[in-house]
A and B are shown apart, each in its own frame.
Chain A
Amino acid sequence: MIELKDLTKTYRNLVAVDNLNLIVPKGEIFGFIGPNGAGKTTTINMIGGILAPTSGTVMICGINMEAFPEKAKGKIGFIPERPYLYEKLTGMEFLKFIADLYGVGEDVFLKKSQEKLDMFSLSDWSDDLIESYSHGMKQRLVMAAALVHDPEVIIVDEPMVGLDPLAIKMVKNLFRSLAKQGATIFMSTHTLKVAEDICDRIGIIHKGSLIASGTPEDLKRDANEIDADLEQVFIRLTLE
Chain B
Amino acid sequence: MKDVITLLTPRILSFKGTGFSKDNRGGLFKRLLFGTMGLIFLGGIIAVSLRVLTYFKEIAELGDILALKLLSMVLLTFFFLLVFSSILTSLSKLYLSRDLSLVHSMPVPSYKVFIARWIESTVDSSWMVIIYTLPVFISYGLVYQAGPFFYFNMVMTLLSLSIIASGISSVLIMTAVNFLPASRIRSIFIFIGLCFFLVLFFAFRFLRPERLVDPEAFATALVYLKTLKTPAPPYLPSTWAFDSIRAFFVGNVSEGMFHVALSWSFAGALVFMAIIIAEALYFKGLSKTRTAKARLFHFKAPGSFFLKFLSRPVRAFAVKEIKTFFRDQTQWSQLFLIAALIVIYIYNFNVLPLEKAPIKTVYFQNLLSFLNMGLAGFVLTAVTARFAYPAVSAEKEAFWLVKSAPIPLKNYLWIKFMIYYFPLLMLTEILIVATNILLQVAPFMMGLSIINIFFMVPGVVSMGIGLGAAYPDFKSENPAQTVTSFGGLFFMMVCAGYIGAVIIIEAGPVYHLFMSGIKETDLSVFEWIWIIGSFAIVFLIYIFAIVLPMRFGERKLIELLI
Which A residues are closer than 8 A to B by beta carbons?
Answer: 11, 45, 48-52, 69-71, 73-74, 76, 78, 80, 82, 84-89, 93, 96-98, 100-103, 129, 131-132
Contact = CB atoms under 8 A, between A and B. Distances in A.
B293 A131 contact: yes
B408 A132 contact: no
Interface stretch (B311-319, B439-447, B514-522, B538-546): B311-319
A84 B396 CA distance: 8
B80 to A, nearest CB: 31
B400 interface: yes
B312 A97 contact: no
Given A88-B324, A101-B313, A101-B316, A71 B400 contact: no
16 contacts: A45-B562, A50-B403, A50-B404, A51-B562, A52-B558, A69-B406, A69-B408, A85-B398, A86-B398, A86-B401, A87-B324, A89-B320, A100-B316, A101-B313, A101-B317, A129-B295
A-B CB proximity, top 7 nearest: A100-B316, A84-B397, A74-B406, A88-B324, A132-B292, A88-B327, A73-B406
B323 A100 contact: no
Contacts, number: 80
Contacts of A100: 312-313, 315-316, 319
A70 B406 contact: yes
Contacts of B558: 52
**Among A71, A74, A82, A86, which residue has the most Cβ atoms of chain B within 10 A?**
A86
Contact of B294 (A50, A51, A101, A132): A132
Interface of B: 292-295, 312-313, 315-317, 319-320, 323-324, 327-328, 395-398, 400-401, 403-408, 558-559, 561-562
A80 B401 CA distance: 9
A88 B404 contact: no
Contacts of B294: 132
A9 B463 CA distance: 31
Nearest to A76: B404
Contacts of A78: 400, 404
Contacts of A48: 403-404
A34 B16 CA distance: 35
**Among A45, A52, A100, which residue has the most Cβ atoms of chain B within 10 A?**
A100
B394 to A, nearest CB: 10
Nearest to B558: A52
A78 B401 CA distance: 9
B400 A80 contact: yes
A102 B316 CA distance: 10
Given A84-B397, A101-B316, A131-B293, A70 B403 contact: no
A198 to B, nearest CB: 23
Nearest to A84: B397
Contacts of A87: 324
Contacts of A86: 320, 324, 395, 398, 401
B400 A11 contact: no
A62 B358 CA distance: 77
Contact of A89 (B315, B324, B400, B561): B324
Contacts of B317: 101
A102 B386 CA distance: 31
Nearest to A128: B292
A82 B397 contact: yes
Given A50-B562, A88-B327, A129 B293 contact: yes
